[in-house]
């Protein structure tokens, strides 16, 4: 385990461990100091990311603080000056052997059939120090063999050694107190409440931290033995850039384990990511390029089917279509959508292909569900650790982190519960952190700006009800006072799209107010205010840094201000500023786009304006898609490239902080699938430009050469678990003055809010069998008082009508939703809220018809 950054620089506490002097850090636990000193103290219950409980007693060692050596649990005792620690004394050995024997009394001898066998601390300890045979002749404890505690995790109580790790995780890390100790003494067991499963987005972590084989994961059970696994450390492609260890056997990925990055995920993963490897190995994976053909499989540009073909055919067809479009309609008739899931190198290659080779700036990695690149790159950026600075303030101007950015939720939760960080919610509905929030400013949809103005002390007159943007003015004033009171500590705004039923401009207007406030604070010598942007899709921040957005070039540079190095390598640049996703699809719908390239993008499923996406895809003559799995948009494509997944190639990833970390290959690409950088290079070659890349490393070298923001990055830094931060940006965000007018709500209507839930219709989720069924039932949520007015029972199906469309959905009351607001998930597999969304106004008002 690495020493936490914060410990490295402090003045040491002088202790002696097994006769050797060691400079420990103030407040460090003996067990942690010993580990850093190279002395391993056996333990089962101690976990560096959770509070110590001193339960297993395995780590007791002789500790002398001046009153003679005494056996003490090294996981509970902090170091003190001149402390003498002896982990090898006869007394220590005897006690530890005793504990080990006690633990084995009731532990079954089923190592040969146990998933944990080979990576089990209890087994390792027993092999190293345990007695040859048992002195216990009594009957062991018996329980029903593994019981499912939820859809993903099994619990074998006979193997459990009651270390409190899983229950502690559920309690203090995830906050899902659904597994607890039950009964007492030697009858103590871990279990759920009857018929109330351990429904946690994070349950897989308990499997990872279980020191024995008591908790096993359904997707991994009996799949492999640890000694057959090879592994690499990598980065999971999500906006947090969670560090993972990817494990594989026989060229197949079998498991992701969280890696403990002090800067990022602390070893945790959300189940949605942990078990998504199933999608990687899914039968649905694209293994070969596809082109249009006849039902008999014969390639035919006018064919109704997608048929397998060779890479040569597919690439040539694609290059020809692009050339023809450029020739006939100019480069702006080609557009590139998506790419947010790709590694940095691939994004860069596609960006260069689009902007330098084709000459189009019509590129957008986001699907109109994020924020303008200028805002993301122009606002001062915070790190996760900054957001979690003890005593600091976090303002949530984003969707629920618990639903969308699992490990950030865990980090924030820790900061709120343990480090006295205060949370101010500036959101239209409650989040998974609301119960920990100091202030909950749940405003009317699309009216965050007014609340933000008042929050930073600006003039904003309350309405007749004493409210600002639907929030009681007194509540806003109280939050403003709290914010001001802690202005000497960092303030971090988590910035995202709090609702996809309102335009990004609503959020930007509020963010601009906060940014100005931050500047004032900084001018006053305070730490100021920074933003941790949270957008959807894996490497979206890499995409922005690599220039996969209109008006941008790689290295956080505007299209209008290319640096000489880039100009030299790229040669030419687009003549006119390009369109964003909405603009591209609008142009496409109007017949102005001849070739639309989709990089892992599924606009039919993801574009907020579903109708527009459908029209666009119907109107574009040639749709080219590059993807790992088929989706509704690839089904409409004319050419589909089979892309490699992140475990099948090397690369780098950029997270929300701008942190670049490595992704490493562990298995060969599925069938003939190719990494996107190679596809882009091939197309470039066919279009007459030789990139000359032979590996992602070549591309990265080019990026570091010509992207100003990336020039300082050192390979060695990238090799470290925490990677390297990209900080510089030459993009200036002027702020947004645009405040969307919001019509008043009539008393029969409710105003709609829609955000993503953890489990939804995402392609990866739906192709991972263990995850596909985990979406909560679609439910329209109303405040209790609004619900009561309907006069129906909970979960009654109602008809919901807006100006745009209608749908049928069950309705329930929820304290998470303020009066006058209705919430419906954005990404539900069965109910598509987009049928209701109003694109003419900033808000969508709905009416509910009961039958």
Partner 1 sequence: MTTVAPAPQDPPQDIQPEDLQIVTSRFHNPQGHTLAAYIQSGGYSGLQRALEMAPAKVHDEVRAASLLGRGGAGFPAGVKWGFCPPQVWPRYLVVNGDESEPGTYKDRLLMERDPHQLIEGCMIACYALGLSQCFLYVRGEMAHAQERLAAALNEAYEAGYVGANVCGSKHFSVDITLHWGAGAYIVGEETALIESLEGNRGMPRLKPPFFPAAIGLYGKPTIVNNVETLSNLPWIIANGGEAFAAMGAESSTGTRVFAVSGHVVNPGVFEVPFGTTTFRDIIFSSRYGGGLRPDRSLKAFIPGGASAPWFYEEHLDLHLEKTAVDKAGSMLGSGAIVVMDDTTNIVAACHNLVRFFARESCGKCTPCREGTSWLEKILSRILAGQGRPQDLDLLLDVCDNISPGIKWPPRQTTICPLGPSAVSPIASALQRFRSEFEAYTP
Partner 2 sequence: MARLGPANITLAKEIISRYPVARSALIPLLHLAQEQDGYVTQEAMAHIAELLGITPAEVLGTCSFYEMLKQEPVGEYMVNICHGISCHLLGASELIGHAEKTLGIKAGGTTEDGKFTLEAVECVAACTEAPCLQVNYRYRNKVSLADFDQLVERLRAGTSSIAPHGKLARTRQQIDDERRAGVSPPDGATQAPWLDTNSNSNGDIDNKTIDNKTADNKTTDNKTADNKTGVSP
Q: Which of residues 71, 687, 701, 718 is near partner 1 by CB under 8 A?
A: 71
144 touches partner 2 by CB under 8 A: no
Crossing angle of helices 676-686 and 311-329, rounded to 10°: 60
Tokens of 453: 């103005």
726 touches partner 2 by CB under 8 A: no
- What one-character-per-residue DSSP string does 705-731 give? HH-GGGTT--HHHHHSTT-EE------
Q: In this chain, which stretch among 28-36, 100-108, 195-203, 581-589 interacts with partner 1, using CB under 8 A?
A: 100-108
Partner whose binding site includes residue 196, from partner 1, partner 2, none (CB under 5 to 8 Å by kind): partner 2
Tokens of 751: 């105003």
Tokens of 696: 């992602």
Q: Is the dihedral of CA 596, 600, 603, 607 positive or negative?
A: negative
Considering the complex, what minimum distance in angstroms separates the CB of residue 209 from partner 1? 18
Please name the residues in contact with 149: beta carbons below 8 A apart, sequence gap of 6 or more. 155, 179, 191, 192, 197, 198, 203, 215
Query: Mapping DSSP to helix (H, G, I), strand (E, B) and coil, where does residue 164 land?
Result: coil
For residue 648, the 8-state DSSP code is G
Q: What phi, psi does 812 have (nearest 5°)? A: -140, 160
Q: Which of residues 3, 23, 55, 619 is near partner 1 by CB under 8 A?
A: 55
Beta carbons of 346 and 328 less than 8 angstroms apart: no
- In angstroms, the CA 204 to CA 270 distance is 7
Q: In this chain, which stretch among 101-109, 232-240, 514-522, 667-675 interacts with partner 1, using CB under 8 A?
A: 101-109
523 touches partner 2 by CB under 8 A: no
Q: Torsion over CA of 337, 342, 346 and 352, rounded to 10 degrees?
A: 30
Considering the complex, what minimum distance in angstroms separates the CB of residue 729 from partner 1? 44
- In angstroms, the CA 342 to CA 116 distance is 33
Q: Residue 129 CB: number of other CB atoms within 10 A?
A: 12
Q: Which of residues 196, 523, 734, 793 is near partner 2 by CB under 8 A?
A: 196
418 touches partner 2 by CB under 8 A: no
- In angstroms, the CA 182 to CA 170 distance is 15
Q: Which is nearer to partner 2, 52 or 191 (CB)?
A: 191
840 touches partner 1 by CB under 8 A: no
98 touches partner 1 by CB under 8 A: yes
- What one-character-per-residue DSSP string does 458-480 give? ------TTSEETTEEHHHHHHHH
Beta carbons of 254 and 260 less than 8 angstroms apart: no
Considering the complex, what minimum distance in angstroms separates the CB of residue 45 from partner 2? 17
420 touches partner 2 by CB under 8 A: no
Partner whose binding site includes residue 178, from partner 2, partner 1, none (CB under 5 to 8 Å by kind): partner 2
Q: In this chain, which stretch among 87-95, 241-249, 706-714, 807-815 interacts with partner 1, using CB under 8 A?
A: 87-95
Query: Mapping DSSP to helix (H, G, I), strand (E, B) and coil, where does residue 695 land?
Result: coil
Q: In this chain, which stretch among 78-86, 182-190, 333-341, 797-805 interacts with partner 2, using CB under 8 A?
A: 182-190
Query: Mapping DSSP to helix (H, G, I), strand (E, B) and coil, where does residue 279 land?
Result: helix
Q: Which is nearer to partner 2, 193 or 748 (CB)?
A: 193
- In angstroms, the CA 365 to CA 371 distance is 11
Beta carbons of 406 and 258 less than 8 angstroms apart: no
The bridge status of strand 83-86 relative to strand 70-73 is unpaired
Partner whose binding site includes residue 73, from partner 1, partner 2, none (CB under 5 to 8 Å by kind): partner 1
799 touches partner 2 by CB under 8 A: no
Q: Which is nearer to partner 2, 486 or 756 (CB)?
A: 486
Beta carbons of 140 and 158 less than 8 angstroms apart: yes
**# chain residues binding partner 2, by CB under 8 A:** 13
The bridge status of strand 806-813 relative to strand 780-782 is parallel
Considering the complex, what minimum distance in angstroms separates the CB of residue 193 from partner 2? 4
Considering the complex, what minimum distance in angstroms separates the CB of residue 122 from partner 1? 11
Q: What phi, psi does 86 have (nearest 5°)? A: -125, 110
65 touches partner 2 by CB under 8 A: no
185 touches partner 1 by CB under 8 A: yes
- In angstroms, the CA 710 to CA 544 distance is 13
Query: Within a 13 Å sphere around the CA of 119, how many CA atoms are in the beta-carbon half?
Result: 16
Q: Residue 124: in which H helix or E strand, if any?
A: helix 121-129
Partner whose binding site includes residue 690, from partner 1, partner 2, none (CB under 5 to 8 Å by kind): none
Q: Torsion over CA of 669, 670, 675 and 678, rounded to 10 degrees?
A: 90
- In angstroms, the CA 609 to CA 25 distance is 55
457: left (phi over 0), alpha (psi -120 to 50) or beta: left
- In angstroms, the CA 732 to CA 498 distance is 23
For residue 383, the 8-state DSSP code is P
- In angstroms, the CA 71 to CA 81 distance is 18
Partner whose binding site includes residue 781, from partner 1, partner 2, none (CB under 5 to 8 Å by kind): none
177 touches partner 2 by CB under 8 A: yes
Task: Write the binding mask 753 to 782 for partner 1: x where contact by CB under 8 A, - elsewhere.
Answer: ------------------------------
- In angstroms, the CA 247 to CA 253 distance is 6
186 touches partner 2 by CB under 8 A: no
138 touches partner 1 by CB under 8 A: yes
Considering the complex, what minimum distance in angstroms separates the CB of residue 491 from partner 2? 23
Partner whose binding site includes residue 70, from partner 1, partner 2, none (CB under 5 to 8 Å by kind): partner 1
Q: Which is nearer to partner 2, 177 or 789 (CB)?
A: 177
135 touches partner 2 by CB under 8 A: no
Q: Using CB under 8 A, which residues numbered 118 to 137 contact partner 1? A: 135-136
Q: Which of residues 88, 193, 250, 463 is near partner 2 by CB under 8 A?
A: 193
Q: Which is nearer to partner 1, 77 or 509 (CB)?
A: 77
91 touches partner 1 by CB under 8 A: yes
Q: Using CB under 8 A, which residues numbered 143 to 162 contact partner 1? A: 161-162
For residue 643, the 8-state DSSP code is B
Q: Which of 689, 686, 688, 714 is nearest to 701 (CA)?
A: 714
Q: Which is nearer to partner 1, 184 or 851 (CB)?
A: 184
Residue owning tokens 């020039």: 711
Tokens of 188: 């103590």
Q: Which is nearer to partner 2, 178 or 639 (CB)?
A: 178
Q: In this chain, which stretch among 183-191, 221-229, 345-353, 649-657 interacts with partner 2, using CB under 8 A?
A: 183-191
Q: Which of residues 68, 132, 144, 184 is near partner 2 by CB under 8 A?
A: 184
40 touches partner 1 by CB under 8 A: no
Q: In this chain, which stretch among 124-132, 185-193, 413-421, 448-456 interacts with partner 2, using CB under 8 A?
A: 185-193
67 touches partner 1 by CB under 8 A: no
129 touches partner 2 by CB under 8 A: no
Q: Which of residues 178, 455, 624, 666 is near partner 2 by CB under 8 A?
A: 178
136 touches partner 2 by CB under 8 A: no
Q: Which of residues 17, 32, 33, 60 is near partner 1 by CB under 8 A?
A: 60
Q: Which of 664, 659, 660, 693 is nearest to 678 (CA)?
A: 693
Q: Which of residues 16, 18, 89, 180 is near partner 2 by CB under 8 A?
A: 180
Considering the complex, what minimum distance in angstroms separates the CB of residue 188 from partner 2? 9
851 touches partner 1 by CB under 8 A: no
73 touches partner 1 by CB under 8 A: yes
812 touches partner 2 by CB under 8 A: no
- In angstroms, the CA 452 to CA 441 distance is 10
| Residue numbers at the binding site for partner 2 (CB under 8 A) | 177-184, 191-194, 196
| Residue numbers at the binding site for partner 1 (CB under 8 A) | 53-58, 60, 70-71, 73, 76, 91, 94-95, 97-99, 101-103, 105-106, 135-136, 138, 161-162, 181, 183-188
């Amino acid at each position: 385990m690495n020493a936490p950054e914060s410990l490295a620089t402090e003045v040491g506490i002088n202790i002696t461990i097994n006769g050797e002097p060691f400079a420990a850090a103030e407040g460090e636990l003996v067990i942690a100091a010993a580990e850093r000193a190279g002395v391993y103290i056996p333990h089962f219950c101690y976990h560096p990311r959770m509070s110590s409980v001193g339960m297993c007693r395995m780590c007791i060692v002789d500790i002398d603080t001046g009153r003679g050596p005494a056996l003490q649990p090294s996981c509970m005792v902090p170091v003190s000056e001149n402390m003498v620690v002896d982990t090898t004394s006869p007394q220590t050995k005897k006690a530890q052997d005793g504990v080990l024997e006690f633990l084995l009394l009731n532990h079954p001898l089923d190592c040969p059939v146990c998933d944990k066998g080979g990576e089990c601390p209890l087994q390792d300890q027993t092999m190293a120090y345990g007695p040859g045979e048992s002195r216990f002749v009594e009957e062991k404890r018996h329980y029903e063999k593994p019981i499912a505690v939820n859809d993903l995790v099994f619990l074998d109580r006979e193997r459990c050694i009651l270390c409190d790790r899983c229950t502690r995780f559920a309690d203090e890390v995830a906050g899902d107190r659904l597994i607890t100790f039950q009964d007492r003494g030697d009858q103590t067991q871990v279990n759920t409440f009857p018929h109330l499963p351990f429904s946690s987005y994070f349950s897989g972590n308990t499997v990872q931290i279980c020191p024995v084989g008591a908790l096993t994961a359904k997707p991994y059970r009996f799949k492999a033995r640890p000694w057959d696994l090879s592994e690499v450390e990598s980065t999971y492609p999500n906006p947090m850039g969670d560090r993972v260890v990817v494990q594989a056997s026989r060229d197949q990925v079998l498991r992701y384990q969280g890696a403990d990055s002090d800067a990022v995920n602390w070893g945790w993963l959300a189940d949605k990511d942990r078990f998504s490897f199933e999608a990687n190995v899914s039968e649905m994976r694209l293994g070969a390029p596809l082109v249009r053909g006849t039902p008999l499989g014969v390639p035919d540009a006018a064919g109704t089917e997608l048929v397998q073909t060779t890479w040569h055919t597919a690439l040539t067809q694609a290059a020809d279509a692009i050339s023809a479009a450029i020739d006939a309609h100019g480069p702006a008739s080609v557009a590139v959508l998506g790419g947010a899931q790709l590694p940095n190198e691939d994004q860069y290659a596609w960006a260069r292909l689009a902007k330098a080779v084709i000459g189009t700036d019509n590129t957008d990695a986001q699907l109109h569900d994020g924020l303008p690149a200028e805002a993301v790159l122009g606002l001062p950026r915070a790190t996760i650790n900054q957001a979690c600075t003890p005593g600091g303030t976090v303002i949530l101007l984003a969707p629920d982190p618990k639903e969308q950015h699992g490990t950030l939720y865990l980090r924030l939760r820790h900061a709120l519960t343990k480090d006295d960080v205060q949370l101010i919610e500036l959101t239209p509905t409650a989040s998974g952190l609301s119960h920990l929030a100091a202030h909950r400013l749940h405003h009317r949809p699309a009216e965050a700006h007014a609340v933000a103005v008042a929050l930073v002390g600006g003039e904003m007159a309350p309405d007749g009800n004493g409210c600002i943007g639907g929030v009681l003015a007194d509540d806003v004033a109280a939050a403003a006072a709290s914010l001001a009171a802690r202005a000497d500590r960092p303030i971090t705004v988590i910035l995202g799209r709090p609702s996809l039923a309102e335009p990004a401009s609503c959020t930007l207007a509020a963010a601009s107010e906060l940014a100005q406030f931050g500047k004032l604070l900084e001018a006053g010598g305070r730490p100021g205010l920074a933003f941790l942007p949270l957008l959807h899709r894996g490497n979206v921040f890499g995409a922005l840094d690599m220039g996969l957005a209109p008006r941008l070039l790689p290295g956080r540079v505007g299209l209008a201000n290319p640096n000489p190095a880039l100009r030299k390598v790229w040669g030419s640049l687009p003549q006119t500023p390009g369109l964003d996703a909405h603009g591209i699809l609008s142009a496409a719908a109007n017949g102005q786009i001849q070739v639309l390239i989709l990089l892992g993008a599924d606009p039919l499923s993801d574009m907020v304006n579903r109708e527009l996406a459908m029209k666009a895809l119907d109107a574009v003559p040639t749709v080219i898609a590059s993807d790992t799995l088929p989706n509704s948009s690839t089904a409409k494509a004319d050419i589909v490239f089979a892309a490699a997944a992140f475990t099948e190639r090397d690369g780098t990833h950029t997270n929300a902080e701008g942190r670049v970390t490595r992704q490493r290959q562990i298995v060969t690409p599925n069938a003939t699938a190719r990494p996107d950088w190679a596809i882009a290079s091939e197309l470039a070659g066919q279009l007459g430009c030789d990139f000359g890349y032979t590996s992602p490393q070549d591309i990265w070298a080019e990026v570091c050469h010509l992207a100003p923001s990336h020039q300082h990055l050192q390979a060695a830094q990238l090799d470290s678990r925490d990677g390297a931060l990209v900080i510089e940006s030459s993009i200036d965000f002027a702020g947004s003055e645009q405040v969307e007018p919001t019509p008043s709500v009539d008393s029969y209507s409710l105003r709609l809010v829609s955000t993503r839930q953890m489990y939804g219709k995402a392609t990866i989720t739906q192709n991972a069998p263990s995850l596909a069924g985990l979406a909560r039932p679609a439910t329209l949520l109303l405040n209790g008082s609004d619900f009561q007015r309907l006069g129906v029972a909970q979960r009654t199906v109602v008809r919901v009508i807006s100006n745009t469309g209608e749908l049928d959905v069950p309705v329930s009351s929820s304290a998470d939703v303020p009066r006058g607001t209705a919430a419906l998930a954005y990404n539900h597999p069965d109910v598509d809220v987009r049928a209701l969304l109003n694109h003419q106004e900033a808000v969508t008002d709905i009416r509910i018809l009961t039958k």
